[in-house]
Structure 1
Amino acid sequence: MTTRRGRRPAGSGVQLTFEVIAETLREQIRSGGLKPGDALPTQAMLMREFGASSLTVQKAMTLLKQDGSAVSRPGKGAFVAHHAHHHDGADDLDSPEATAPVGGTTARVEALERALVDAVEQLADLRARVEALETGGG
């Protein structure tokens, strides 16, 4: 039986590198070494630590997002997700869309649309503040 690169025979107990990376990070989360809201190591750090390619690290991060262990914040990085037992409503990492597993394209598009709406609202608020400062103070 031949296997393609990156695949393992069914029933094999051997973990692939991306699974090892994901499990290592999960264990750090379970042990408290990484707490909800903490930044996960960067892609470059994980590539060096595990001698892995960027694609391998990305696959590991996808696993963590799918199981709800991690959440990405565009432009900021990946963070340990907040879970119900640690929910205090303090920041946007507690929102359902931030901790929801990425289930597919539709869920991803909906999450991006919500983020876009939030960004547009923030821009409108900032624009109003600038206009108020310019007319009132300047």
Structure 2
Amino acid sequence: MGTEGGGVAGVMATRRGRRPAGGGVQLTFEVIAETLRDQIHSGRLKPGDALPTQTALMREFGASSLTVQKAMALLKQDGWAVSRPGKGAFVAHRDHADDLDGPETDAPVGGTTARVEALELALAEAVQQIADLRGRVEALESGGVERGR
């Protein structure tokens, strides 16, 4: 009974690639994604190379198709891979100096929700910075006009 409850919590927690606090063991989809990231980072897989097929990954890791799909979704979300409908998944073009910060602007655009959300967040931050700068300029102009002239 206890394992069933933990399993349900584990399944619910893994939907977003997260695990309960204190969980030190990687989930299978995380292992698959990390293995592929390591191969990309080491140069074994290069930008534009085809990633292993779902069937090959299922066989190699003894994983279900859903687990492999979750690993691929994680790689795509993080900007490491892109899908080409009817062709498969491929290593995304990335700037190797920025491996940890997510997708680069020159990464192939896949129209993913994660990419759109990241761009919306960056835009919102830029708008806030512009508003802050406008406030500073106005404050300087109103206080500095008399002293400067």
SS of aligned partner of 2:109: helix
1:57 to 61, 68, 75: 68
Q: CA deviation at 1:97?
A: 1.4
TM-score for the superposition, normalised by structure 1: 0.62
Identity %: 72
CA shift for structure 1 position 96: 4.5
Show structure 1 runs of 5+ residues with no match. Answer: 87-93, 108-138
Q: CA deviation at 1:84?
A: 3.7
2:57 to 24, 40, 46: 46
Structure 2 CA distance for partners of 1:10 and 1:54, relative to 1, 3 Å: same
Amino acid at match of 1:29: I
Runs of 4+ residues deviating >6 angstroms: none
By relative contact order (CA 8 Å, sep 6+), the higher-ranking structure is: 1
Distance 1:96 1:43 in 2: 21
Is the partner of 2:51 in helix, strand or coil?
A: coil
How big is each residue's C-alpha offset from its partner over 1:76-134, in whole Å with a ceiling of 9 and x where there is no partner?
00000001459xxxxxxx66514x75418xx5xxxxxxxxxxxxxxxxxxxxxxxxxxx
1:77 pairs, out of 88, 105, 109, with 88
Corresponding residue SS for 2:73: helix
Q: In structure 2, give the amino acid aligned to 1:44.
A: T
The CA RMSD measured in Å over matched residues stands at 2.6
Partner residue in 2 for 1:103? 114
Size of the aligned set, in residue pairs, is 98
